[in-house]
Amino acid sequence: MAILVLAVMTLAVWAAWLGWDQHRDVQPDGSETGPYEAWQVIGLALTLLAPVYWAASRRYLAGAVLGVPAGLTVAAYYDWSDDSSGLFMVGVGMIMVGSLVVTGVASAVIASVKTRDDSTRQRS
């Protein structure tokens, strides 16, 4: 259940930070950037730390490690699937693998710190 809750929450956070911006910027040299600005992606990542912390600190490690990457992967696929080059799948794969690694490491760190804090409190 935690996996589904975190996946749905991640979809909503993606929509809030990135879903509304679909405009690419054309630079003077003709190159294109975007559609997202760095602050949007940083905001998305920082916002997703809260549900990962919540899940990992309550020992819902599968929810933290799988829910957020599932939500990000689905959101990226939906948002980028209109790309005619077909390369969007490379980006979606990178989102999936990268978010699995980051949420796995973050969850492990949070759970170990939380365990250490809990054991310290019990000794006091």
Beta-strand ranges (E) seen in the chain are: 25-26, 32-33
pTM: 0.85
- Rg of the chain taking only CA atoms, in angstroms: 17
Q: Which of 113, 119, 111 is nearest to 55 (CA)?
A: 111
pLDDT band at 1 (very low <50, low <70, confident <90, very high): confident
pLDDT tens, residue by residue, 77-117: 999 888 888 789 999 999 999 999 999 999 999 999 977 76
